[in-house]
Amino acid sequence: MTVSHSVYDVGVQATTEVADTAVEQMRWRPLAATAALFIVMVVAAFAASSRQTGGHLVYALDDPYIHMAMARNVALHGVWGVTASHFTSSSSSLLWTAGVAALFRAFGVHESIPLLLNVVFGILLLRQIVLYLAQSTMQCSDAYLFMASTGIALVTPLPALVFAGQEHILHGLVNLAFVAFGASWLAQPRRPMPASATATFCTFATLLPLIRFESLFVIGIVATLLAVQGRWRASVLITTCGVLPVALYGALSHWYGWYWLPNSVLLKGARPDFSSTAGIVLALGGVSYSRLMQLPALAFLVSAALAAFILRFVHGTRDDLQWMLGIFITLTLLHAQFAQPGAFWFFRYEAYLFVLGGVAVARALGEWLETVGRQTQDMKTMVVQLGTILLFVLSPLSDRALKAMVLIPQATKNIYEQQYQMGLFLGRFYERRAVALNDIGAASFLGDIDCVDLAGLADIDVARRLLGGLFESEDVRDIAEAKDASIAIVYDSWFGNRIPASWRRAATWTVQNNVVLGGNTVTFYALRPEELGPLRAHLNEFSPELPPSVVQRF
C-alpha cells in the first residue's frame, strides 16, 4: 500500500481507483461487529432513558435544544436565532444548526432528528477508524481491529454523544480525516500535492470551523507545519479555507450588532489574564495543566501518545503516524488551554481528541505489538500483549467509558425533570411572552417564548456586561425590564446577590441525583407584583404533571 492511497482513503476517496482500493482493504467483520455493538448500546441506553422520562425522547443536556430552537426558527421563520423575532449568535456549530434546520424544513420539526444524525455519523466514524487502522497496520488481526475500534467508540464515548444531540461525533469524524490527510502529506515533504488532493484538503479545512470554531487550532497547527516545510501555497490555502467561512459569518454577526464570534465561544473559552502572577502562570500553560488533571483519561491518552512519539523518534521513524501523534499532542494542549470548560459538559468538548488520539495510539500500539511478535517467542509475545491490554483496561480510559454509559439514563432524567418541564410549563402559560432564563434550550424549543438569556448566549447586552465584568443586580433588573419580561426561572446559586431585590420568589423545583444540571433547584420569580398571583396559580395548576421525583415548594 502506498502512502498516497492512505491519504485518499482516509479522506473522502477522491478517485474511483482509491474508492475501489478502500473497499478491497476494508475489514468488514470487525466493522460490522463494532457497528452492531454501537447500535445495541444506543438502543439499550434509549430504553433505560425512556423508563426515566415517561417514554419521551430527552437529550442529556439542555444545549441540543438551543440548536433545535434555532433550527426551527430558521426552517419556519427564516430567522437565525433562539427567538423567532430576531437574530442571535448563539450556535457554536454553524453547520450542525444549518443541517438540522434543512432537515426540519424537509421532514418537519422532529426531536429525533439530531439523535438519528448522530447514529449515522457514529457508524461512519467507526467505518473510518477501521479503514484507517486496517490500511495503516496491514498485519493486525480482525480481533485487534475490533478491540481498538470498540475501545475508541466507548472512550470517546459515542453512545453518550448520541444523547448529547449535537455535532461532536461529526467533529471527530472530519477532524480525524483532516489530520490523517495532513499527516500523510507532511511525511512527504518533497512530493507536490495533486489538484484532487488539494481540493479534498481544502474541503476539510472549510468544514471544520463550521462544525466547531476551535477547529481553527488544528488548521493552524497543520498550516504552520506546512509552512515550516516550505510549502507556502498549501499552508496559505488551507488557512484561507479555514478562516474565510468564520470571517464571513463574523461579518454578518457584526452587521447585526453582535460579536464576530458566537457568544457561546467567547463566554465559555479561557481568556489570558496577565494582570497578576497567578494569571500569567495560568496563561502560560497553567489552564491546560489544570484541565488535564480534571480529565485523567485524556491525560493518560496524551501520555501514551507522547511515549509512542518519543519511542518512534529514538528509532528514527519519521512517517505520517509520527506527524499525527505530534499534531494530537499539540492540539490537546491548545484545546485544554483555551477551549475546554472547567465544568462537566457530558464528555462532549474533548470527544474529538479521544477519536484522534485513540486512533493514533491504537495504530502505534498495533505496530509495536507486531514488532514484538516478530522479535520474541510466542509465550513472551502473549505476556507482552496481555500486559499492554491490561494496562489500558485498568487506566482512566475504562473509567470514562463506564461512567458515560451509566450516566446516560440519569442525565436524561435530570433534563426531563427540570429543563424539559420548564419548557412544557412555559409553552402552556407563557407562549410568545418574554421570560428571563439562564438555561434557554428546552425552554425556548418546547415553550416557544421570547427568550431573555441572563447567561448571555442569546443576549448581546448580557454578553457585553459579562465579558466586561460589570453584571450586577441592577443590570439584571434593567435588562429584564427593557425586554418586558414578566417572570424569571433561574438558579439562585448562579446569581447570588445579583438577583434584583424587586423580584418576588414564587416557587422552587428541586431534583435529586443531579449529574448534568447547573443546579439542583430552579427558582421561579415574578418580576412585577401583579405577576406573582398568576405565576403561583399556573404553577399550582401544572404541579400534577410534574414527575413525582420533582419537589415543588411555594
Give 10-residue mean pLDDT values along the chain (554 residues): 40 42 61 96 97 96 97 97 94 97 97 98 97 79 90 96 98 98 91 86 96 97 96 94 96 96 86 69 81 95 95 89 97 95 89 97 86 63 64 86 96 98 97 94 95 94 91 93 95 92 96 95 96 96 95 94
Whether 179 is in a domain gets the answer no
The amino acid present at 342, given as its one-letter code, is G
- What 3 state SS string does 210-239 have? HHCHHHHHHHHHHHHHHHHCCCHHHHHHHH
Query: In a 3-state reduction of DSSP, which class is residue 428?
Result: helix
473 touches 497 (CB < 8 A): yes
If you compute the radius of gyration of the chain from its CA atoms, what whole number of angstroms results? 25
The domain tally of the chain equals: 1
Task: Please give the pLDDT value at position 11.
Answer: 44
80 touches 73 (CB < 8 A): yes
Phi-psi region of 108 (alpha: psi -120 to 50; beta: other; left: phi over 0): left
Q: Is 375 exposed, middle or buried (0-12, 13-18, 19+ CB in 10 A)?
A: exposed
Whether 253 is in a domain gets the answer no
Whether 422 is in a domain gets the answer yes
156/401 Cα distance (integer angstroms): 8
Q: What angle do helix axes 16-25 and 3-10 make, rounded to 10 degrees? A: 90
Whether 530 is in a domain gets the answer yes
Residue showing cell 501523534: 325
H or E stretch at 28: helix 28-52
Whether 51 is in a domain gets the answer no
364/326 Cα distance (integer angstroms): 12
Whether 331 is in a domain gets the answer no
Residue 496 belongs to domain spanning: 409-553
Task: Please give the pLDDT value at position 2.
Answer: 37
Grid cell of 155 as nine digits: 472512550
65/443 Cα distance (integer angstroms): 8
CA distance to 138, 194, 287, per residue, from 26 (Å): 11, 25, 41
Task: Please give the pLDDT value at position 368.
Answer: 79
Whether 183 is in a domain gets the answer no
Q: What's the length of the chain?
A: 554
Whether 88 is in a domain gets the answer no
145 touches 137 (CB < 8 A): no
